[in-house]
Amino acid sequence: MKTRKLLTLSAAALLAAAPLTVLATAAEADPVAGLAPVADSDFHDDGRPDQAKVRLGRFLFFDKVLSGNRNIACATCHHPTLAAADGVSLSLGEGARGLGTERREDPGTPLLGRVPRNAPALHFLGAREFIALTHDGRVEVDPARTWPSGFWTPAREQLPEGLDNALAAQALFPVLSNIEMAGHKGENAVADAVALNRLGGQDGAWAILARRLQKIPEYVDLFVEAFPEVDQSEDITIVQAANAIAAFQTTAFRPDDSPFDRYLRSRDPAVLSPAARRGMALFYGDAGCAACHSGKFQTDHRFHAIAMPQIGPGKSDGWDRSYWRATGYAARVEDFGRYRVTFRPEDRYRFRTPSLRNVELTGPWGHAGSYASLEAVVRHHLDPVAALERYDAREGALPRLQRVIEPRATGSRLSHEAVNPARLADYLRRDTWAQETGALRRELAEANELPPRSLSDAQVEDLLAFLRALTDPRSRDLSALVPRRVPSGLPVAD
């Protein structure tokens, strides 16, 4: 009895002397107990790509020379000062100038329209587990090697071999989009090649861009330094350019010093606020968020339909012609998401689960940027169908357009003409048509896979506190990544 009492007193004395963090750990079950912290081994090249390649990729990322009209860079829609995104629901690409919410039509060059999907942020996309990219996963690693490149993409057999990873493969596609970077047929050789579906080969769009780089002496020196196989300008290829851009993105957009990361490394609850700890327990527990937003990057890399509102012009999917009948503009405004890749009916309206790293900084949220409020998009997940029904398109961030051009086909001839200002309002009705049309809205609702879930306002606040704990403070200002100049001599992306 005496010995038992002494042991009890000894244990009590130890507990009294224990640090507060140990007590907190004992009192709170660790909701991410099996989750390892982010490590170099999670990334391609073990997180240490060749620095010459990174340096080259940084210049290419900011250089407008890779766009058809030499007026847009990768960074235009993925700018470091905007957390590697652009802060609007749907980007304005070809025919606009400026950054983010300040980007507007170039007075001398009417826009082709809005980019149909939200520009995703680039954080952690250099991690090995990201093998499918874009909202519908149309750029993805193909283990079956259906095409020689080893990737399944819209370019199919035209995609060249030698790409390092999915991030490098993805870098080759914005330059082909007439509405993003290429421009329209008749404006430049790149756009002309794209219009004829000449992507690969010596006369393809990618080769045209590579020849531009071959003519810039500073780029030749940079490619020689970065790639052993390059001895002279003619050795430069678009594959090397894409691999360099991916290497830069892998190192530049690796926000692994958030409070959540510090917790994964130390398991010290004190690095998270009490609200963030409660939110983490909800996120990986009763709230069910981790069913899709799983793992250290908060994504299962799969595709889900959650009745996210559709705004903007869509991807011309479906068979509904109500917009056409109402306005006279021959367009369809739906976006079928993953179905566009698989053609499986069950994949309609499914979109890739995004990583939530730096999510606080990377709105608007949703594949079409439907929500400009992080709280609003969290609440959408609680009852997607009800949220879809009450959604107001003003919850997004769509800068108003004043001058737009549209393609017109006359026989085999394609031309681009400015939309009559008197008809601009009808043209712009496509931005909200899918949401305001009951039949289209019902299709979205019927595809929803996410059951309603009840959370109190206090629990929602705790979830938001955890989501904010996924922000790396360094990402609030990445302006140091922006070079003062680029080898082409063109203005740096701004």
What pTM was estimated for this model as a whole? Answer: 0.92
Domains and CATH numbers, the chain: 41-85+120-255 (1.10.760.10), 259-473 (1.10.760.10)
Contact 355, 133 (CB under 8 A): no
Distance, CA of 439 to CA of 442 (rounded, Å): 5
Please state the rounded mean pLDDT for residues 301-320. 97
pLDDT at 345 over 50: yes
Cα distances (Å, whole numbers) of residue 425 to 147, 421, 483? 44, 8, 40
What is the DSSP-derived secondary structure letter of residue 141? E
Contact 462, 278 (CB under 8 A): yes
Distance, CA of 92 to CA of 108 (rounded, Å): 15
What is the DSSP-derived secondary structure letter of residue 248? H
Please state the rounded mean pLDDT for residues 272-289. 97
- DSSP for 322-386, please give it: HHHHHHS-----B--BTHHHH--GGGTTBEEPPP-TTGGGS-SBSTT--BS-HHHHHHHHHSHHH
Question: For residue 407, what pLDDT is reported?
Answer: 76
Residue percentage of the chain with pLDDT more than 70: 93
Tell me: the pLDDT tens digits for 171-229?
999 999 999 999 988 899 999 999 999 999 999 999 999 999 999 999 999 999 999 99
Question: For residue 494, what pLDDT is reported?
Answer: 64
Characterize the bridge pairing of strands 139-141 and 132-133. antiparallel
Tell me: the pLDDT tens digits for 390-429?
999 989 999 888 888 887 777 667 777 888 889 999 999 9
pLDDT at 146 over 90: yes
Distance, CA of 136 to CA of 304 (rounded, Å): 10
Tokens of 193: 């090649």
Tell me: the pLDDT tens digits for 87-137?
999 999 998 999 999 998 887 777 888 999 999 999 999 999 999 999 999
CB atoms within 10 A of CB 444: 23
pLDDT at 39 over 60: yes
User: What do you get for the CA distance between the two ends of the chain, in Å?
Assistant: 78
Tell me: the pLDDT tens digits for 238-269?
999 999 999 999 999 999 999 999 999 999 99
Bridge partners, residue 43, by sequence: 127
